[in-house]
Amino acid sequence: MADDLKIEFQKWEGTGNTFVIVNGFKYAGILDLTTLEDKVIEKICFQQNCDGIIFLYESSIEEADLKCDYRNSDGTRSFCGNGTRASFLYASREGLVGESAVFEACDGLHQVRHNDEYDVPSVEFRPVRAPKRFNSGDFFLDTGSPHHIHLVKDFNELSEIDIDVFGSKIRYSEDYSSLGGVNVSALCTVSEGLALRTYERGVEAETKACGTGAVAASIIDYSIHGGKPKRTVHMPGGKLFVEFNEDGEGGYDNVWLSGAASELSRGITSLLSIFLLWFCLPLDVHANWYDNLSDSTEISILTSSPGEDAYSIFGHTAVRIYDPVEVPIVDWVFNYGTFSYSEDFYYNFMIGRLDYHLSALPFYQFQRDYMDQGRGVKEQILNLTPAHIRQVAEYLSWNLQVENAVYSYEFFRDNCSTRMITLFQESLGEAFETNCKQSGKTFRDGLQPYISGSPWIAFGMDFILGPKSDKIMPPCGDAFIPDELSIALSYMTVDGVALLKENNEHFVVFDDGTWLPEFALDVPAILMVFITCLMMIVTFRNRENCWFSSKLRGVVAIVSSLLGGLLLLMWTLTDHTDTWANINLLWTLPALVYFIPISFRFKRQAGKIAALICISYLILSVFEFQLSTLALRCAAVSVFLTVLPFRKDLNLVGDE
């Protein structure tokens, strides 16, 4: 590794905007951070996936406590309201300033303080002139950064506008060429205040929030509608609070912006690596990058909480490699849960030939994705030697290559979670021991805690899965569920030493709610009981030619027959082996008898056979050959009553 200057930083967010903040006092006399070229700033922002960089150092102005030097991701300088608020909170925590301070920015001095009303950091803007109106729906206002504000009629229009296309067109228009371009926002009023989306120059894309844009929008809205000189502005990243006063000369002063800010992560970057590389390449094209990992490198397993979508309700597992010393910083997440999408994806999905592959992405991107989804992620650091770490990293590097990345996904036996065991077995060889024991649970048992909060998904899985899913899982079989793998890791060893470090588990993304889904009312079971009761009533009441009875039996027969056809197709035409030989066929396919015309002599005999098959299902369900729930048993009874061949003999109906 190169002995070059390494820069410590913290990554912060201010209502959705992300920044790298550097304490420049640590490098005084060593490096003049003000002279960093735009290209260097651009590459750091690309590497850290942030909107800009903020350098804090001593101001030459006596009245200022600090100089806040904000650089956009393209290297240009501007005043950033959200960045200044985040910098104040950072500086307060680092002991650089007290409860209030004065910061020097590129446009002048700004007071910063804590807003007790909202319990968030605030920054005061320079006095703002009156907005300039272009037409009925467009305004210009400079709030430290120039802003073009376009009014839209409602939130639907705001949501549908392509802000990147619309914004870039105005940003580069001749009207603003003398200013070096302009920030562009779309604005509408909502019941809770204002809603705003902003395309930022320097970032050249939409950002989750923009402080100077929120101030511009608030003042423009006030100039149109009046009211109290304060506004709440809703942006994709959260809420911002703006307060101001009229200065009596057509402008505004005492302008304050307030909003949330928080630290996301910490790291170290190398200026030499950025000067030499000028770009950040994917890991799979860095030859033997694993050989350069320092002895400080850590490998950890990331386990996420269940998501709301059907494909994510069981959680997720990935592996992280983090080296704070290597240049450029190695902090990557390897994910075996990536779809290999192609034109025949849906066909392959239906027949059970699912191609997944290994992919890699920077940790900050993985972390942001789960923050956006509101899902928690816990990290377990592995107790591996530097040699073992390089072995695992080398295997991942090999596995990441295009020709090696794809594998055939199998839900119970080969997925993102079980691949962790494969990873250790292949990379560490005989040194790795799973030490797993049978839990006595079936594969279906493993699903129950995660589908209990989604009754219809539970009903669908109980119906579609066959007897193979009710077999006792082998040792480590539980590991197809990410949470179970997380537990199993504590029993695993490498060269007889525990795989996990002691007391190492922590959250890298906090889960706001419960990790597992909460109990939900079993609607499918209630519905099936209700339908069965209806079937019994219409069957055993002596009603001839009852139109409701006929319609109800017809619906039961159609739905059951279609479900039976699905099970039959899953068995005969797909590789979904866990759905094969499903005994739910014993109550679904008999419903086809209903469609045999009455004129056929053998319909009565067929009805008897169909009814007996339904009864056989109910008998088998008692012996638990395959899991049968109350809902499924009720469905079987409904089909039995639909095909019942003794209705005329029992004087239940007249001629059918």
Annotation marks residue 80 as catalytic:
yes
Q: Using CA atoms, how far apart are residues 435 and 493, in angstroms rounded to an integer?
A: 8
Q: Using CA atoms, how far apart are residues 587 and 583, in angstroms rounded to an integer?
A: 8
Which sign, positive or negative, has the C-alpha torsion 71, 74, 75, 77? negative
Task: Single out the residue of 49, 113, 48, 117 nearest to residue 84, CA to CA.
Answer: 113
Of the residues 45, 50, 188, 210, only one is catalytic, namely: 210
Query: Could you tell me where the beta strands, DSSP code E, fall in 309-400?
Result: 316-323, 330-339, 354-362, 377-381
Q: Which residue has the tokens 């800010």?
A: 261
Q: Using CA atoms, how far apart are residues 255 and 641, in angstroms rounded to an integer?
A: 75
Contact 81, 218 (CB under 8 A): no
Task: Single out the residue of 125, 97, 103, 99 nearest to residue 113, CA to CA.
Answer: 99
SS3 assignment for 425-490: HHHHHHHEECCCCCCCCEHHHHHHHHHCCCHHHHHHHHHHCCHHHHCECCCCHHHHCHHHHHHHHH
Annotation marks residue 546 as catalytic:
no
The DSSP string of 64-119 is -SEEEEEEETTS-B---HHHHHHHHHHHHHTTSS-SEEEEEETTEEEEEEEETTTT
- Residue 150, amino acid: H
248-254: which pairs have CB atoms within 8 A and are 24 or more residues apart? 250/129, 250/130, 251/127, 251/128, 251/129, 251/130, 252/127, 252/128, 252/129, 252/130, 252/219, 253/127, 253/128, 254/124
Of the residues 45, 50, 68, 80, only one is catalytic, namely: 80
Contact 339, 356 (CB under 8 A): yes
Residues 275, 107, 115, CA angle at the centre, nearest 5°?
Answer: 100
The bridge status of strand 230-235 relative to strand 193-200 is parallel
Element (H, E) at 548: helix 547-573
And the tokens for 622?
Answer: 């008692």
Contact 270, 374 (CB under 8 A): no
DSSP for residue 27 = G
Element (H, E) at 127: none
Catalytic positions, please? 80, 210
